[in-house]
Structure 1
Amino acid sequence: MANADKRSAARLAAVQALYQMDVTGNGLKETRNEFESFWIGHEIEGERYKDAEIAFFDDILAGVVAGQGPIDRVIDKTLASGWPLARIDSVMRAILRAGAYELRQRADVPARVSIKEYVDVAGAFFGAEESGMVNAVLDAVARQCRAAEFEPRG
């Protein structure tokens, strides 16, 4: 499996783990261990979960947990008035948090790549409208924290 595919799988697993933490209240260590031991790269009920770049998965998961307050504030600023992050569906919250973390902290990944990857993750759970919202929110976050990547070349 190519490295890009392993990173895509890591993003999806991180979103699923963040969702699980949000819903169950389980902590970082317990959730990380569960995903690394039983989900990532394993077969469950006849379905094979893709191998993922574990270090990338760990970084996203731990980074979102450690920086959740600032991440949430950045996302809240980009959401439509009257729709704070707390009112957003749990899966969508996990997608936006993971994407915002990556845009803010992983300069080694081009912003447009991160945005596209999380739009694709949203597409696995939601329809076009929600995927468009993820695109719009993460694009706004990227333009705030990585403006240079969006300046015209010439």
Structure 2
Amino acid sequence: MSNTGPKQREVKPANKRGAARLAAVQALYQMDVGGASLLETVAEYEAFRLGREIDGDTYRDADPAWFRDIVSGVVRQQKTIDPLIHGALPTDWPLSRLDTTLRAILRAGVFELLQRRDVPIAVIVTEYIDVAKAFYVEDEPRLVNAVLDRIARSQRADGETKK
């Protein structure tokens, strides 16, 4: 058995999608706070962030098509997505009261619930709870769970994936 160097660990497509979801939330945040355009932000992430090292931190390799689909889809459908989120929030928590990161997480999650019917609801909800846990410790991941679950029940009432 020859040792030709370090083994390259195979990155599963699901892991690349998870990394794309996290990057999409970061890009949506950046666009909301900095006012950068969709094309400028997507180009920056694809050229300099996805799977790259920045300031000593290595970004996980992400599925660029999945990343683009989420970011552009949220921008394109925000007028549909935001009212759904607003309606799923507790009455004393309007969408405008949520911080920018939490809004980005919910927008990306709702986009996938609406448009990625090939992905099971449980996968989408779990992935975005995990994204929320990357930024928050306590209540926010539970809020993400509750809001996405409510929207999934109303928008994908059968609970099944559509092909």
TM-score range, shorter chain: over 0.9
For residue 115 of structure 2, what is the aligned residue in structure 1? 105
Long gaps (5+) in structure 1: none
For residue 16 of structure 1, what is the aligned residue in structure 2? 26
TM-score normalized by the length of structure 1: 0.96
| Matching residue within 134, 140, 154 for 1:124 | 134
Q: Distance in 1 between matches of 2:50 and 2:63?
A: 9
User: Could you list the runs of 4 or more consecutive aligned residues of structure 1 that deviate by over 4 angstroms after TM superposition?
Assistant: none
* Residue 21 of structure 1: how far off its partner (Å): 0.2
Structure with more helix by fraction: 1
TM-score normalized by the length of structure 2: 0.90
- Is 1:38 paired with 2:20? no
- Is 1:56 paired with 2:66? yes
Q: Distance in 2 between matches of 1:82 and 1:25?
A: 28
The code of the aligned residue for 1:84 comes to: P
Q: How many residues align?
A: 150
Long gaps (5+) in structure 2: 1-10
What is the percent sequence identity of the aligned residues?
Answer: 55
| Matching residue within 26, 38, 42 for 2:36 | 26
| Matching residue within 67, 76, 87 for 2:86 | 76
The code of the aligned residue for 2:45 comes to: F
For residue 47 of structure 1, what is the aligned residue in structure 2? 57
The code of the aligned residue for 2:155 comes to: C
Q: Distance in 2 between matches of 1:141 and 1:64?
A: 15
Instruction: Give the SS at the match of 1:109.
Output: coil
Instruction: Give the SS at the match of 1:147.
Output: coil
- Is 1:115 paired with 2:125? yes
For residue 142 of structure 1, what is the aligned residue in structure 2? 152
For residue 105 of structure 2, what is the aligned residue in structure 1? 95
Q: Distance in 1 between matches of 2:97 and 2:79?
A: 16
* Residue 84 of structure 1: how far off its partner (Å): 1.3
Which structure is larger by alpha-carbon Rg, 1 or 2? 2
Q: Distance in 1 between matches of 2:76 and 2:147?
A: 21
